[in-house]
Structure 1
């Protein structure tokens, strides 16, 4: 497992919100759902994504955008078009004045908007829970990023017609099919994004190509529960302990054991959000000998006990 694979193992959509939107200009939708990650793939027409802060993005057919929440933004045919609908947490849809809109703009299976053959068609996939993606992955991304059709010519092009066809199907197991397609789309998009020079990929991503640090990262990512030591890692890499510690710190920005601790705790945080596993079971899964040992390290890193963290995550939805 390489470093990127370790992080991208996080995306595991479960009942993700998937929809095909169809509009004729002028149109505008305000998004305030606080979702951790939303993918928007423009199939036809033109669209703008206008965040409350930062640069706005223009999308043309074949372009893709990823918005990392919880900050709100607006999707529209033009930045000056006033919102006609407001999307809130839980999929609630309202007029801007607060009147409910749920059901009013439904156009069929996972299709929503003005008319099914609107001038603008966009496919949207939304992860509902942060724990489905992984904190370290979200932290490595800007609030809003985009890929043009040229940027993603290889891995994403085959996915567009497949997702277009599957999103409107109503077959047994269709939710699972769409969840997996969304995961695949996100992983392919992020690989394309990190390959761009302006993406400023995190140190762990660039370090995976190092002949010494890369294999060590794969060991730590692939088996975090193993009782690793610097000596054991150095032996695997074929270098001295001092050489590994120095080179790892230079390339990743922190020593191997510090990186391992952070990775273990990040995995624990995700499992606390996404599962009902006991704290003892999570501790064993990520490499701690007991619930007490995990709780001590977790509170030092996150400022809350694992149970407090889980409770707060549930309250945030």
Structure 2
């Protein structure tokens, strides 16, 4: 596609005072206050049938909104879903998916990593299908108009935030704010100072609305921190874990805070969130650390202490096990991207 912007605890230790940017937030709030969309790929797509866009860009998450007409979204492991005007959809990557005028349509164009655009035969059509900045399609006045927002890579807390989303979800008009869709379309249509930042923040806000809608659904994706908020006992535990991730939490202490027995806390947390409380805390601490590595110049030792580790060595070992790369390597990769 044409340019739409550049490329979304393992141990308990003593209490620490966490920086204000990390304290008292849940994964969705951290997603909006920490590393989030930065120069995200955003595009207005206009298509006439027949069309089938085979998306193989390996993006972490894509948000699609239909402004006019509609399209089918086909993703592996799920039934094809139709996206009608006024609706929005989320597609979790990096697996490929197809956007088409019919669910059985053969691919007419393939989108690769870096938003390269070619025909199935391999001919590049980046230029011929471009209609200006942030506008692309097989017809400048196509019957189907889609707004695309892509998080090429997602920050760690962002990954936790969108864990409430299934691989493919379509949200109806009651769950999608039409005013917000209108704002995004207007920003895409008129190049202006600050456009890139405005689109980033609007895309973040749209995703927040969609994650909330997914949480509110009875058929939301499997157990996660989001589904845990429905259980008042688990919600209390999540509240204190998010507010004080560096504290020396135990299941017994969480149970005390929620005025239930240790066994009750352990069983209800496991059922609602899908993992034990201390396993969730480990992931949350490391996610916060990953976001700080990507967005600050704080030393590894300082970050380790801030998220609840007694030593940089213990933190580095836990981080490497979870992310497959050292904290230093993670920071370098974030700087390159």
- Scaled by the length of structure 2, the TM-score of the pair is 0.80
Indicate whether 1:19 and 2:46 are aligned. Answer: no
Output one character per residue of 1:96-121: Cα deviation in whole Å (capped at 9) or x when no partner. Answer: 22222222211123111133321110
What residue in structure 2 maps to residue 103 of structure 1?
127
What residue in structure 2 maps to residue 192 of structure 1?
213
CA distance in 2: counterparts of 1:313 and 1:28, whole angstroms: 33
- Identify the match of residue 93 of structure 1 among 113, 117, 133: 117
Output one character per residue of 1:9-49: Cα deviation in whole Å (capped at 9) or x when no partner. Answer: 46710010000011111122111000000011011112111
- Identify the match of residue 295 of structure 1 among 316, 320, 323: 316
Over 3 Å counting, the alpha-carbon distance change for 1:110 and 1:49 in structure 2 is same
CA distance in 2: counterparts of 1:27 and 1:249, whole angstroms: 45
3-state SS in 2 of match to 1:134: helix
Over 3 Å counting, the alpha-carbon distance change for 1:171 and 1:248 in structure 2 is same
CA distance in 2: counterparts of 1:82 and 1:256, whole angstroms: 46
Q: Please, which moves more after superposition, 118-127 or 277-286?
A: 277-286
Over 3 Å counting, the alpha-carbon distance change for 1:203 and 1:13 in structure 2 is closer
8 A contact 2:63–2:90 mirrored in 1:
yes
Q: How far apart are 1:124 and its partner, in Å?
A: 0.4
CA distance in 1: counterparts of 2:289 and 2:266, whole angstroms: 25
3-state SS in 2 of match to 1:90: helix
- Scaled by the length of structure 1, the TM-score of the pair is 0.84
Indicate whether 1:120 and 2:144 are aligned. Answer: yes
Indicate whether 1:162 and 2:176 are aligned. Answer: no
CA distance in 1: counterparts of 2:287 and 2:41, whole angstroms: 25
- Identify the match of residue 172 of structure 2 among 128, 132, 148: 148
Q: How far apart are 1:72 and its partner, in Å?
A: 0.8
Q: Please, which moves more after superposition, 235-244 or 23-32?
A: 235-244
CA distance in 2: counterparts of 1:275 and 1:85, whole angstroms: 39
Q: Please, which moves more after superposition, 138-147 or 110-119?
A: 138-147
8 A contact 1:40–1:64 mirrored in 2:
yes
8 A contact 1:67–1:143 mirrored in 2:
yes
Indicate whether 1:173 and 2:197 are aligned. Answer: no
Q: Please, which moves more after superposition, 266-275 or 62-71?
A: 266-275
Report how many residues are paired: 313
8 A contact 1:6–1:222 mirrored in 2:
no
Indicate whether 1:30 and 2:77 are aligned. Answer: no
What residue in structure 2 maps to residue 264 of structure 1?
285
What residue in structure 2 maps to residue 223 of structure 1?
244
Q: Which has the higher contact order (CA 8 A, sep 6+)?
A: 2
8 A contact 1:33–1:88 mirrored in 2:
yes
What residue in structure 2 maps to residue 280 of structure 1?
301
What residue in structure 2 maps to residue 39 of structure 1?
63
8 A contact 2:46–2:135 mirrored in 1:
yes
8 A contact 1:21–1:112 mirrored in 2:
yes
- Identify the match of residue 64 of structure 1 among 81, 84, 88: 88
8 A contact 1:34–1:72 mirrored in 2:
yes
CA RMSD after TM alignment: 3.0
Output one character per residue of 1:232-278: Cα deviation in whole Å (capped at 9) or x when no partner. Answer: 54565456767655654565454433321221123334445666654
Output one character per residue of 1:204-236: Cα deviation in whole Å (capped at 9) or x when no partner. Answer: 323324444323311211332344455654565
What residue in structure 2 maps to residue 129 of structure 1?
153
